[in-house]
């Protein structure tokens, strides 16, 4: 069965600094990978996804992630964060190789950007 | 397009009361999902549906029932609410292997 581990529950960072949010997964089959963002009191919004092809994926708001099959990781990065990036970020992996659309979510990482 | 909508946005129940949460999507998606979100727990799948008239159990199905009588609607029912069901509930939909689209959530408190 698939699982997702987000290694940091909270990440504080100063504005304009770079940030990396870590995500590792376990799966015995091919996976699809996703990062979602949740702003306070809102639903989840897709940041980026990896389905196939290039392992470096660019998303919205200047975020990018790299799929590393050998390390089973899909870390999220941004070179310079803004106050508005303060939110909770969730990594997700397709269950069952994506055959039924189910996703397995990590427990989330709260990014706090300070001025 | 409205995307995924959820009704109601907030609800307070007393222990033992029942209620139904409604999820609607206008994207003609086959798959629909109900999650609950609790602090530090991420999103946990309650039930899901792979098409009209079908439902299946997720990770935490106990105490909940669902129905998918129409393709665009997915209902989540609590027959006898318990304080442990205090949570934020999210509905989502997709076409299968691709990304899920989420509704704005329903915040439920059970006293």
Residue A94 pLDDT class (50, 70, 90 cuts) = confident
What number of other Cβ atoms are within 10 A of residue B28's Cβ? 9
Q: What is the pLDDT of residue A12?
A: 97
- Mean pLDDT calculated for residue range B63-77: 97
- Tokens at B57, concatenated: 């159990």
- Strand, coil or helix: B17: coil
**Chain A positions touching chain B (beta carbons under 8 Å):** 9, 32, 34, 36, 42-46, 49, 51, 90, 94, 98-103, 105-108
Q: In this structure, what is the dihedral angle of CA atoms B32, B78, A109, A29, given to the nearest 10 degrees?
A: -40
Contacts of B69 (CB under 8 A, 6+ apart): B52, B53, B75
Q: What is the pLDDT of residue B92?
A: 96
**Percent of chain B that is helix, strand, coil (3-state, to 5):** 5, 50, 45
Residue A101 pLDDT class (50, 70, 90 cuts) = confident
Answer whether residue A96 shows pLDDT above 70: no
Mutate to test the interface with B, among A44, A49, A94, A109 (most CBs of B within 10 A): A44
Tens digit of each residue's pLDDT (9 = 90 or more) over B83-111: 999 999 999 999 876 789 999 999 999 99
Facing residue for A44 by CB, picked from B50, B95, B102:
B102
Measured CA to CA in angstroms, residue B23 lies from A52, A62, B16, B28, B75 at distances of 31, 31, 23, 13, 6
* Strand segments (E) across chain A: 3-6, 10-14, 19-21, 23-26, 33-38, 44-50, 56-58, 64-68, 73-78, 87-94, 103-105, 109-114
Q: Residue A13: beta bridge partners? A: A113
Long-range contacts (CB closer than 8 Å, 24 or more residues apart) made by B62-68: B64/B34, B66/B34, B68/B32
Facing residue for B42 by CB, picked from A51, A102, A108:
A108
The pLDDT > 70 percentage for chain B reads: 99
């Amino acid at each position: 069965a698939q699982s997702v581990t987000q290694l940091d529950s909270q990440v504080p960072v100063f504005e304009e600094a770079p940030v990396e949010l870590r995500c590792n997964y376990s799966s015995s089959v091919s996976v699809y990978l996703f990062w979602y963002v949740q702003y306070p009191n809102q639903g989840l919004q897709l940041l980026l996804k990896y389905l196939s092809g290039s392992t470096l994926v660019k998303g919205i708001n200047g975020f990018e992630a790299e799929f590393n099959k050998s390390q089973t990781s899909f870390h999220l990065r941004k070179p310079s964060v803004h106050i508005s990036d303060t939110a909770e970020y969730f990594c997700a992996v397709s269950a069952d190789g994506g055959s039924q659309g189910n996703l397995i979510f990590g427990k989330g990482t709260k990014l706090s950007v300070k001025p | 397009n409205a995307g995924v909508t959820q009704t109601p946005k907030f609800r307070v129940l007393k222990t033992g009361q029942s209620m139904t949460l409604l999820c609607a999507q206008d994207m003609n998606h086959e798959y629909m999902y109900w999650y609950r979100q609790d602090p530090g727990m991420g999103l946990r799948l309650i039930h899901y549906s792979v098409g009209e008239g079908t439902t299946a159990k997720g990770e935490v199905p106990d105490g909940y029932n669902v129905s998918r009588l129409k393709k665009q609607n997915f209902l989540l029912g609590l027959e006898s609410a318990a304080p442990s069901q205090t949570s934020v509930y999210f509905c989502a939909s997709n076409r299968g292997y691709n990304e899920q689209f989420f509704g704005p959530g329903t915040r439920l408190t059970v006293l």
